[in-house]
Structure 1
Amino acid sequence: MNITLESLRHCFEGAQPAQIATCASDGTPNVAYLSQVHYVDSDHVALSFQFFSKTRENVLANPFAQAQVIDPATGIQYQLALQYMRTETEGPLFEYMKARLAGVASLTGMSKVFRLRGSDVYRVLDVACTDPVAPECGSMPTNRMPALRACSERMAQCADLSSLLDELLAGLARHFGIEHAMVLVLDAANDRLYTVASRGYAKSGAGSEVALGAGVIGVAAQQQTPIRIAFLTGDYAYSLALRDSLGEGGEKEIPFPGLAEPHSQVALPIMASGRLLGVLYAESEQKLRFTYEDEDALMAITGQLGFAMQLFEQNSESGDDQPDAPEAIVSSGAEVMVKIYPADNSVFVDGEYLIKGVAGAILWKLLFGHARGRSEFSNRELRLDASLRLPDISDNLEARLILLQRRLAERCPYLRIEKTGRGRFRLAVDRPVKLDC
């Protein structure tokens, strides 16, 4: 094979429809359009199976086929000699193609017609170019290595998770031109992800939640596979505009910060030691904004991010377990009423919802300690406090503290969490607080 599948990945974006030619057992040929050709690896592609059609009947009887794809930039056509291997109806490959198909279907006005029944995996036996004078490779892909190197070098200099998240999002904007992005961390106990850092939005959305399996973010997390969509998905379930699944900002919901109409989306799982930690999500109002090369580079970044998150979590506790002596705490200004609802640890400040869950329980413990003369706390004592009902160490306490810190800075600047050392922090309170449980 003189032309590699890797060099043709831009032909699989769906901008130009592909075709498939099959042959019945009696030799009768059939040609049909394909909604999607997906690059699996250097030897395999997956084709979308949507209808009980002649094509399907033919490949089951005679497993050999020819597919034709088009370079969207040059119009050059390439033919792939294929051998049918299997059909997948669930799992990462199926969910990836299902999400990608959503964009293609919406672009063509066929959202209610296009429904993926399965992902047909084919071995690629040969690749040929139909233009005899064309070079034996596709268009040169965008080189993302310099951007990847620049981001990785800056991330490697970070000494804590908070600065790492900020540097990551700044690096995506500076080196990749990605202006709208966020990081969500897994809350495994509740099968949800919560936003811990974002960039490019009017409001940070810190604490906003996405359920596993909901939208492109939830599917990427649930299936632990990257999901990339090149076109606006309209009313399809992967659209982030479906606020009934992502929350509009009700009494106990924080509004999700996503764009109202993202034409391009990419969600990438953050993994470490085979375990899901969260999702890196980016979006754009531009069609075809994220390429295969972007996806490859961002997956490399999430690998580094996952390793760093795990490392910071393992080293987030101080060796000093002695509690601080009570301090004289002086605050001034109007009194603040803080109320907690123990059923879900929802915290309201002066009647306005602030946070819930583990982060809410942590804030209440800190305020309770502050009322008794303390301001210094440690990660370790939070873990050892059974009353908090914290998940195990794998649930990333450090990320929850960052979420709480940023949520307070956004809504209650008179309550601040300030790091004072490894695994230690201070609660600064600038106004009198009255606790109501």
Structure 2
Amino acid sequence: MSGLRLDGLRRAMEGVMASVLATCDANGIPNVSMISQVHYVDPERVALSYQFFNKTRRNVMETRRATVLVTDPETLGHFRLALAYEGTETAGPLFESMKAKLAGIASHHGVEDVFRLLGSDVYRVLSVEAVPGPVVPLVTNRPSLLAATRRTCAALDACADLDELLDCTTACLDRDFGIGCSMVLMAGGEAGRLYAVASRGYPVTGVGAEVAPGEGVIGVAARENAPIRIGHMTREYRYGEALSDSARRSGLVADAPRRIAFPGLAAPRSQIALPIAEAGCVVGVLFAEAGEINCFGYEEEDALALVAGHLAARMALLRQETQEETPAEAMSPAPADGQLTVRYFRADQSVFLDRDYLIKGVAGAILWRLLREHLANGRNEFTTRELRLDPALRLPAHSENLDARLILLRKRLDEREARLRIEKAGRGRFRLVAACSLALEEPDAGEAAG
């Protein structure tokens, strides 16, 4: 390879400007075509989108050689890459990342129903050559991503508990990166779904909103444990009512009254989702979006991947620290004000306050357990340890998400301005506060027992 570095040309591989691919058949007869996407894989490899079985594809299979011309959309500089074909991937992180980007490119050009990725053709780059010609001087007024990452990681290090850490993450994306709309979702929901535990920049927080595996950029990033991003609005990766209807029809989510609407932008044009992983296991997803096109490139992906990795490390450390319980602070009971009827449906562990839906799943089962103990013996202080050891709660194997579920429950109660709330009472301890008398109902208990 020449002195030019492939990773310095990543702007030219965003799909903003079409690339030109040249091949020859076994007899040396050339063929030139436009290609939708050249994807950066690593400092020595790129991947080209395989969409059609045509003359270009036949030539590559015969000679295993190609040349592609890419263009930097900001400087208009052209670069020629000599390539050697290595293989084709039809599934996995690389394929899904290219599929998402191609869907955005196709949507931008109005050909969503035509552009379908059949495979990701991986090539080793043999040489990189700058094509002589005029270029536009690069002028940028963007914030330093390295400095933004450093400030964000320092802020996360200063957080004392998971609740503060999650809110700090979205606040730092706004303050340091200029990303106004973001959220953190945790894995471990029912049927493998993720659920939002923190958000910023939306009219409603959407805390508790769920995303199914493989659904949009969030679900694909979690399933593949790889960053997924798009630079243009696309039907396939858009969250909204139509997507929720589809999920309900397929049985992935409950009926409409027992769900929380996804809080995303009505018309996002750029989205990025980065897995939050511990020891190779995805425990959550960091998600950001914007109303402008092409807001998240390779550089932003690298920076936010570092933030997601640091967030995972801080979550693990704080979880270890909360294993040690500290004494609870003394508190006077709140005066009773009326009555609240809490209904629990065992089938999906959903909880309703009077007739209004609150939460379901493990978080619902936790609240029901607390309320029953509170009414049975007046108890209002609990520990996370006892919940982890309670088999009746059916906590998943990765019960480290228990703290996140308690945060979810607390935020949902706060949002509803319910006369119930969850408060911290020390390390590894929390308190149930009821400012009214409570009546508990379990309408389907008899059916379940029978």
Equivalent position to 1:312, from 318, 323, 327 = 318
Q: Percent identity?
A: 49
Q: 1:152-167, aligned counterparts within 5 Å?
A: 152-167=153-168
Structure 1 residue runs without a partner (length 5+): none
How much does 1:329 deviate? 4.8
CA distance in 2, matches of 1:43, 1:306: 29
Q: Aligned to 2:286, what secondary structure does the other structure show? A: strand
Query: Given the alignment of the two structures, is residue 250 of structure 1 paired with residue 256 of structure 2, yes or no?
Result: yes
For the 8 Å contact 2:77–2:134, the answer to whether it is kept is no
CA distance in 1, matches of 2:323, 2:20: 58
Deviation digits for residues 61-118 of structure 1 (CA, Å, limit 9, x no counterpart): 0111110011111211111111111000000000000011000000111100000000
Query: Given the alignment of the two structures, is residue 430 of structure 1 paired with residue 429 of structure 2, yes or no?
Result: no
How much does 1:139 deviate? 8.3
Deviation digits for residues 229-272 of structure 1 (CA, Å, limit 9, x no counterpart): 01111x3x212233335679821010000111110000000001
| CA shift in 2, pair 1:331/1:432, >3 Å | farther
Q: 1:13-24, aligned counterparts within 5 Å?
A: 13-24=14-25
For the 8 Å contact 2:334–2:433, the answer to whether it is kept is no
Name the stretch that deviates more: 27-36 or 188-197.
188-197
Matched with 1:99 is 100
Matched with 2:367 is 363
TM-score w.r.t. length of structure 2: 0.91
TM-score w.r.t. length of structure 1: 0.94
For the 8 Å contact 1:79–1:128, the answer to whether it is kept is yes
Deviation digits for residues 166-224 of structure 1 (CA, Å, limit 9, x no counterpart): 11111000010000000000016521000111001111111110001111110010001
Matched with 1:126 is 127
How much does 1:138 deviate? 8.6
CA distance in 2, matches of 1:244, 1:47: 34
| CA shift in 2, pair 1:285/1:246, >3 Å | farther
Query: Given the alignment of the two structures, is residue 400 of structure 1 paired with residue 405 of structure 2, yes or no?
Result: yes
CA distance in 2, matches of 1:357, 1:305: 25
Equivalent position to 1:388, from 385, 389, 393 = 393
CA distance in 1, matches of 2:329, 2:314: 30
Tell me which amino acid in the other structure corresponds to 1:355: I
CA distance in 1, matches of 2:383, 2:422: 12
Matched with 2:186 is 185
CA distance in 2, matches of 1:323, 1:141: 50
Q: 1:191-270, aligned counterparts within 5 Å?
A: 191-233=192-234, 235=235, 237-241=236-240, 242-245=243-246, 250-270=256-276
How much does 1:132 deviate? 5.5
Name the stretch that deviates more: 253-262 or 406-415.
406-415
Query: Given the alignment of the two structures, is residue 49 of structure 1 paired with residue 55 of structure 2, yes or no?
Result: no
Equivalent position to 1:419, from 404, 414, 424 = 424
Matched with 2:446 is none
CA distance in 2, matches of 1:207, 1:406: 9
Q: 1:11-160, aligned counterparts within 5 Å?
A: 11-131=12-132, 143-160=144-161
Structure 2 residue runs without a partner (length 5+): 443-450
CA distance in 1, matches of 2:325, 2:135: 66
Aligned residues: CA RMSD: 2.3
Tell me which amino acid in the other structure corresponds to 2:284: G
CA distance in 2, matches of 1:189, 1:416: 24
Aligned residues: 432
Q: Where do 4+ consecutive residues of structure 1 move more than 4 Å? A: 132-135, 137-142, 245-249, 322-325, 327-330
